[in-house]
């Protein structure tokens, strides 16, 4: 049976300035690794001090939340920049080109050259003071951002073919990773937000040239193939759903209603980490579709804003959610990581730790 961790977190932490400077300055690999090691030991100790239930290395060795995959797999060309407008919360949801994402485009057959988390796991196994959580990007991430017509279709004839190729690599790696001493495997899946926001559903039709209903089925099957590879090793399996988290910006909005029934019933996971930090995420009503035996981690604390939430308000919202889904099927966390890209969100490290302290305090108050 999967362990129910009540004080959870999505995984990534803000990088200290000296680590960012070293990475940008091209420090020798040995020097960079030593610096990473030192700061990972520091964030592990801080997680223990705060009282969190699971431990990550903060993704401090990554340039972004999915670079464990792109660093380990050949076939991506990062010379072809893809920019996308994101929405700015401070401008009331208006779009701004201030933040863009640069994604590798698939230009050749994908070939794995090293384990996806091979740089992370050995150090974590030696130094983590408790259960280890490993995060990986969903295979569904790559057809949306790395498939470009006129280039990728020379290798993979459509986004579904690329999805299949990524899924095969992910599943084989997860099969090994799940047996390597971890306690918790989390797949990060931002692209389900496309089905929650009409503008992105239309984008799928026009730009990706896929039928959204067909792609949703393919996406659920892909993630389930990956989860099946990790099942049976005593590892808690989870998926995190995101609406964008680059430098405190977001790109999609909408409640879970449109896909809740299929999502909660069909995905073979133990836990869903859901964004619930503001009105963009909708109501708790879709939680009525969550079956018994599955846990929802309520992302009630914002990793985007520096202001610390009030404990009584967080407790009130958990009470409201418990009217839809029993309290024993709930947990709490921030709504996303603090650094989906290495530059991180627009708050300080101390503000980050204060929010994680609040997560731990709330969990103790509610579940003991």
Q: What is the pLDDT of residues 189-229, one digit of tens each?
A: 999 999 999 999 999 999 999 999 999 999 999 999 999 99
- The Cα–Cα gap between 143 and 189 comes to 12
Q: Where are the domains of the chain?
A: 17-75+108-367
Better-scored residue on pLDDT, 269 or 87: 269
For residue 146, CA distances in Å to 87, 156, 179, 350, 365 come to 21, 11, 30, 35, 44
Strand ranges for 161-213 from DSSP E: 184-189
> What pTM does this model have?
0.93
Locus of tokens 């030696």: 126
Q: Which two tokens stand for residue 368?
A: 């003991």
Q: What is the pLDDT of residues 135-171, one digit of tens each?
A: 999 999 999 999 999 999 999 999 999 999 999 999 9
> pLDDT category, 81, cuts 50, 70, 90?
very low
- CATH architecture under which domain 17-75+108-367 falls: Alpha-Beta Barrel (3.20)
- What is the SS3 assignment for 295? strand
Q: What is the pLDDT of residues 11-57, one digit of tens each?
A: 999 999 999 999 888 777 889 999 999 999 999 999 999 999 999 99
pLDDT of 245: 79
- Helix residue spans in 148-197 (DSSP H): 159-177
Q: Which two tokens stand for residue 1?
A: 């049976």
pLDDT of 83: 45
Determine the angle formed by the axes of helices 212-230 and 159-177, rounding to 10 degrees: 20
Which positions ≥6 away from 102 have C-beta within 8 Å?
78, 81, 82, 83
Better-scored residue on pLDDT, 334 or 89: 334
């Amino acid at each position: 049976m999967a362990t129910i961790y009540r004080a959870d977190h999505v995984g990534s932490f803000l990088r200290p300035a000296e680590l960012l400077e070293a990475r940008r300055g091209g420090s020798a690999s040995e020097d960079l690794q030593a610096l990473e090691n030192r700061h990972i030991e520091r964030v592990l100790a801080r997680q223990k001090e705060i009282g969190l239930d699971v431990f990550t290395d903060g993704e401090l060795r990554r340039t972004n939340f999915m670079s464990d995959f792109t660093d380990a797999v050949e076939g991506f060309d990062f010379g072809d920049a893809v920019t996308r407008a994101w929405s700015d919360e401070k401008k009331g949801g208006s779009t701004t080109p201030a933040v863009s994402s640069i994604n590798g485009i698939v230009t050749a057959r994908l070939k794995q050259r090293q384990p996806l988390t091979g740089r992370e796991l050995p150090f974590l196994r030696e130094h983590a003071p408790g259960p280890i959580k490993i995060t990986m990007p969903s295979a569904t991430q790559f057809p949306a951002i790395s498939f470009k017509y006129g280039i990728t279709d020379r290798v993979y004839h459509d986004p579904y073919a690329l999805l299949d190729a990524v899924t095969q690599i992910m599943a084989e790696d997860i099969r090994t990773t799940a047996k390597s001493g971890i306690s918790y495997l989390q797949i990060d899946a931002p692209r389900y937000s496309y089905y929650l926001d009409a503008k992105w559903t239309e984008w799928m039709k026009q730009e990706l040239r896929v039928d959204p209903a067909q792609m949703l089925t393919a996406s659920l099957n892909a993630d389930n193939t990956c989860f099946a590879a990790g099942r049976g090793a005593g590892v808690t399996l989870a998926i995190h759903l995101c609406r964008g988290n680059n430098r405190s910006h977001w790109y999609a909005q909408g409640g879970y209603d449109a896909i809740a029934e299929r999502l909660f019933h069909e995905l073979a996971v133990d836990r869903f980490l859901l964004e619930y930090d503001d009105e963009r995420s909708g109501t708790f009503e879709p939680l009525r579709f969550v079956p018994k035996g599955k846990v929802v981690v309520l992302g009630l604390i914002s990793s985007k804003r520096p202001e610390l939430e009030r404990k009584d308000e967080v407790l009130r919202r958990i009470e409201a959610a418990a009217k839809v889904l029993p309290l024993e099927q709930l947990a709490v966390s921030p709504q996303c990581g603090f650094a989906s890209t290495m530059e991180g969100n627009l708050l300080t490290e101390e503000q980050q730790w204060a929010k994680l302290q609040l997560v731990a305090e709330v969990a103790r108050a509610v579940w003991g």
